Amino acid sequence: MKKLTFRIGGIHPADSKISASCQIETLPLPEKMYVSMAQHLGAPATPIVAVGDKVKAGQVIAEPSGFISAYVHSPASGTVTAIAPRADIAGNMMTHVEITVEGDEWMEGIDLSNTLVTEIPSDKAFILDRIKMNGVVGLGGATFPTHVKLAPPPGKKAECVILNGAECEPYLTSDTRIMIERSSEIVVGAAIISVALDGCPVVIGIEENKPEAIQAMTQAVETLRKTVPACACIKVETLKKKYPQGGEKQLIDAVMRRQVKSGALPIDAGAVVQNVATALAVYEAVQKNKPLVTNVLTVTGECQKEQHNYLFRIGMPLSFVAQQAGGVPEQAAKIISGGPMMGKAIANLEAATVKGSSSLLYLTEEQTKRPAATACIRCGRCVDACPMGLEPNLLFKLAKAGEMEQLEANSVHDCIECGCCLYGCPAGVPLLDLIRPAKGDVIRIIRSRK
């Protein structure tokens, strides 16, 4: 079968999926959980509970505070013991609702059984409402509220839904595991998304280094196609292993052979991209009325004794997750939330898990320490690697000199911060480090002009 891929740039880091064969385990509940109000892109949610309130798992504890915002639900049953600022993984303060866990009682109306519900509601508004009320956000990294993404602005029509199962970041295996273990649910979730977008066809793109996942998903689609009519428009495509295959624009290019124009949104190219984990969350929200309070994360790294894929609840302190996995390994020099290419280094292990948490990755000093920067030898590797076709070496120089006009002329605002340039630089020039803030500046300048 032909393998799809994007056409510009890309790199091939070792995929290091050492936890790919570890089954998903369910974590026990800690004594206290800290639910952040900023678990999604956009305005932080506003708490609607008060200290001393009794809450049940799945109960709404915060409401969206803007158009782009999301509901937050209690991950466990217990008492609200504090609503106070608490440091996130970067040390920045954000309001957290502290819940002291008592038992595990869920709200009524939530179906906690494992039975597959294949009858898909036909009412679009009902689907979107369920997704919104259950606080579903994109779980591919950006945590953009899903109900907003599934309601294209008037005049724009989705021609293809792409379900992102690329998981192109090295080490991460949470998507791989759910595609293997919960393939049918993901396929039904995909069908729901398709229905919400007027029966738009769905392509599930999976990188070739996950044959088990490809097989499981293909089989699930084949089986469900016979009984569920909405699944007829779903197909699975194999993608080449190349980073950043899972980048939204790259994935659209790979699957649809279309390049989203600079400054435009995927919907302008007729595409809606959703992560497979989001499809699972959509399934649970619509079919089971279960809010997004659980997700799967990978605890991995060569220095970690046992690899794990955990079903966690939002609000668990990362230190608790680490403890459950046997503690932070001695040699770990850096702990990353997310993949090694785009994930965030954790400065504060007391921070709590959020909806978008995908991993706890331990890297040793040898693996992660930045090489000392030497002179650029103009080898052009960064230019070849950039999936957006930019010239990172030039942008770096311009950013250093603060040449805003030239930066804009050289499309710095198209940068997707994938890290390909810095990964492959033989001179260890910290290209992205300076391009990132320059991109922010230029985007601000462009916005201020409008």
Partner 1 sequence: MQKLLVSPSPHIHTDVTTRRLMLDVVIALLPATLVSIVFYGWSELLVLAVSILSCVGLEWVITKYLLKRDCTIGDMSAVVTGLLLALNLPSITPWWVVFIGAVVAIGVAKLSFGGLGQNLFNPAIVARVFLLISFPAIMTTWPEINAAEAWRGFDAETGATLLGEGVDVTKITIGDALFSAGSAGEISVLALLLGFVYLLVRRVIKPWITLSIWGTVLVFAGILYLVDPSVYMSPVVALLSGGIMLGSIFMATDYVTSPMTTRGGIIFGVGIGLLTIIIRCWGSYPEGVSFAILLMNACVPLINKFCPSKKFGRA
Partner 2 sequence: MSSTILWTILVLFALGVVLAVMLYLLASKFKVEEDPRIDEVEKVMPGANCGGCGFAGCRAFAQSCVEAGNLDNNFCPVGGNDTMKQVAAVLGLEVKEKAPQVAVVRCNGTCENRPRTSTYDGIASCRVQSMLYTGETGCRYGCLGCGDCVNACSFGALSMDPSTGLPVVDESKCTACGACTKACPKAVIELRNKGPKGMRVYVSCVNKDKGAVARKACAAACIGCGLCVKTCTKGAITMENNLAYIDYEKCKLCRECEAVCSTGAIAGVNFPKALDKDAIKARIKERQAKAAEAAKAAAEAAKAAAAEKPETKEA
Instruction: Write out the binding residues for partner 2, residues 154-173 only, by CB under 8 A.
Output: none
Q: Work out how close the CB of 416 gets to partner 1 at its nearest, in angstroms, rounded to a whole number.
A: 9
Instruction: Select from 60, 93, 57, 56 the least CA-distant residue to 75.
Output: 57
* Contact present, 70 and 42 (Cβ < 8 Å): yes
Q: Which does 377 bind (CB under 5 to 8 A by kind): partner 2, partner 1, none?
A: partner 1
Chain-centre distance of CA 282, in angstroms? 14
Per-residue binding letters, 127-166, with partner 1 (x by CB under 8 A):
----------------------------------------
Any contact of residue 371 with partner 2 (CB under 8 A)?
Answer: no
Of residues 9 and 58, the one with the C-beta less far from partner 1: 9
Residue in 65, 215, 259, 289 binding partner 1, rule: CB under 8 A: 259
Which residue number, 26 or 262, has a Cβ lying nearer to partner 1?
262
With H, G, I as helix, E, B as strand and everything else as coil, classify residue 380: coil
Q: Strands 202-207 and 160-165: what pairing?
A: parallel
CA 87 to the chain's CA centroid: 21
Nearer to partner 1, 73 or 249 (CB): 249
Most distant CA atoms of the chain, gap in Å? 64
170 binds, among partner 2, partner 1, none (CB under 5 to 8 A by kind): partner 1
d(CA 10, CA 244): 6
Q: Residue 397: what are its φ and ψ, rounded to 5°? A: -65, -45
Instruction: Single out the residue of 68, 112, 125, 347 in contact with partner 2 (rule: CB under 8 A).
Output: 347
Site for partner 2 in 28-87 (CB under 8 A): 87
Count of residues that interact with partner 1, criterion CB under 8 A: 64
Binding of partner 1 by 118 (CB under 8 A): no
Interface with partner 2, residue 428, by CB under 8 A: no
Count CA within 13 A, CB hemisphere, residue 108: 0
**183-196 vs 124-133: helix crossing angle, rounded to 10:** 120
* Gap between the Cα atoms of 369 and 305, Å rounded: 21
Contact set for partner 2, span 372-411 (CB under 8 A): 373
440 binds partner 1 (CB under 8 A): no
Identify the residue whose tokens are 């920045």: 92
Please report, as ranges, the residues that interact with partner 2 according to CB under 8 A: 87, 89-93, 334, 345, 347, 368-370, 373, 430, 433-434, 436-437, 440
